[in-house]
Structure 1
Amino acid sequence: MTESIKLPRAGGTLYTYDLQGVAPAPPGADKFGSRIAYSAAHVVADPFSGADPLLEAGIDWDATLAYRRHLWSLGLGVAEAMDTAQRGMGLNWGHAQELIKRSTAEAQSVGGLIASGAGTDHLAPGPHVTVDDVIAAYEEQCAYVESCGSRIILMASRALAACAQSAEDYERVYGRILSQVKQPVILHWLGDMFDPALAGYWGSADVETAMATCLRVIRTHADKVDGIKISLLDADKEIAMRRQLPEGVKMYTGDDFNYPTLIQGDEQGYSHALLGIFDAIAPVAAAALQALDQGDTARYNALFDPTVPLSRHIFQRPTYAYKTGIVFMAYLNGHQSHFRMIGGAEGARSLVHLSDLFVMADQAGLLAKPELAVQRMRRILALGGVE
């Protein structure tokens, strides 16, 4: 029997939506190998924590680690303690340390791929913060991540963006850190659509000028750079940078709008993946990457293409609110028992936005258990006054 549900439209009217009932594409038994794919993973809030979510992050560690085991079981790596985990937006450095420690131990126990964010978020930007302070903050976090046994993702720094006076300041900071790391890192260039505090990163608001600075850093320290993830939501700029990377340095797409074409690549190369949207579309992503391994581009595109409207919806402006949609998908699919988030971020999107997300998830074959998803969607609607 087809499931149906009444959903709201903008303006206050309701309509009946009949679910398509297409189950997620099951990945095969063999793990994909032609691309490296990390999912930036969310954290599961503890709904029974007595702490005010605006002041203290209560985390359900069992559910949080269980979701990471789900991602590893599909052959995906975990990009830990990144912005998808609400890093700097509810998850502070103290919480991130515990998350990195627990997740790295879990990865080692199951043979899962993991890389973890090291940044400077314990250093608040301010008029007295210097470049040397930024270097010291990066050194502290990098040392901690390495002590846990995880590869480093070198995150962009709000403090550096606030205090740097020139491109040379960025080259000095990154040069110092890269000269010290024990194994090659993944750099992360996060655009200001994800974090407004990072505007003008690499010393310029002009993307081409900023890219030239970033490329100088990579070329100078190519032996210490595994790859770079750029999250600019601009496929042409990613391709332009990808074609200029030194041999052996990978491009990890962070483009949640254009990932299918960027991962598939062209005659001059392709991107690997380090994506927040892979948290929400993990089974389909794994199946699509297996199809790519087999040279079946028709199936690859048939699987990925319906996920793009969903991803564009989840990452619509304000882009930094995308975590709400990611966690909502985990709730609909039964990976957590509630729709609560650290920092109260479950309220960052409208009821109409979540209803449209529900429809797009169904149309993309991403609702694992349609009956459960309908039941949970109705709970959210009832809380919003839709009976």
Structure 2
Amino acid sequence: MIQLFRRRLGPRMSHSSYKSLEFFSANDIDHSFNTAMSIPTTASEYYLPKIGSHEDLALRTKKVEQPGASDVLVKIHAVSLQFRDLIIATGSYPVPAPPDLVPGSDMAGEIVAIGQDVKGWKVGDRVSANFATDHIYGDPTPATQRTTLGGAIHGVLTEYRTFPAHSLVAIPSHLSYEEASTLPCAALTAYNSLLGPVPVKAGDYVLVLGTGGVSIFGLQFAVASGATVIATSSSDEKLKIASKLGAKHIINYNKTPNWDEEVQKITNGVGVDHVIEIGGIGTLPKSINAIRLGGHIHIVGFVSKDTSSTNLIMNTILKAAAIRGILVGSVAQFKDMNRLLSANPETTRPYIDKVFPFEEAKQAYSYLASQAHVGKIVIKVSKD
């Protein structure tokens, strides 16, 4: 209650001043009590009691923490999954995680309580947290890497969580919580790839490998920027979806194993300007063949079955190195991306394959592992 009254009366009032509430109408006091009572004292969250498989995920009850002076408490409505979540659960991710890790990096929710020093946010605001909570602008640093959600620090697969206020970004008003939960990692990674230091421009050719979350967002951002998109997949059905989303050329790499040569034909022997490279060592040689002289390969994953040099690809990503390893993005980029989303609401609307209830988080992980999806997989955390 003190926290809510402090927000209303101002941070400089003494503790004893809160005893004098004659400034309030009865409705004001009732509203404050109702708001406070709406925040439970305990909540459910998933954690990994051991590393080995996503099947090890377990539910536990935690105490809902009150926000510190510079923090906010968020009721999480939706969480989207990444390939990273799978490899963290199996122990294949090279960054050490804290014991009993709460997984998940991507969320959308509403602010339900605010620390006394927080400015610019209010109860009821709809927000997402950045992938690395302290990566505000510029290049990543060792310090910001130590604040990556669901990896270096506990994540978001929980009903309530506090976040530092500086890590939050308002979500576009036209998106649902489920749609907005897909933005912090997949969307921002694609945005950083194509609209980072060397922005895609109208008339460019963009090659996206596969139809997962980052690739689909890359397709959408490229189309919104006026580029021509070439999409690959092993599934004709998935390629039909890519076409509907704006891909001008589609290649089934099972039917056309030398897909790099097909890309060269499509571009009249010039090659593409940008590649969203998600396969890793198994696809990188062909991506290099498909790129134009001076083109840009954006390495964001290693989902191909060739795992002979997985560490090479992961180290490229973690170093954010060129041939450009993409380590998600900053709060500043997140805000810029949301302007693009709001300016092109239909072209860039997140493509969600399936939404699972909170109780079926393991099934959501299994569906992600099957690679049967197109776009994003979301877990609906809140029932209201």
Q: TM-score surpassing 0.5? A: no
Q: Which has the higher contact order (CA 8 A, sep 6+)?
A: 1
When you count helix as a share of all residues, which structure comes out higher?
A: 1
TM-score, L = length of structure 2? 0.29
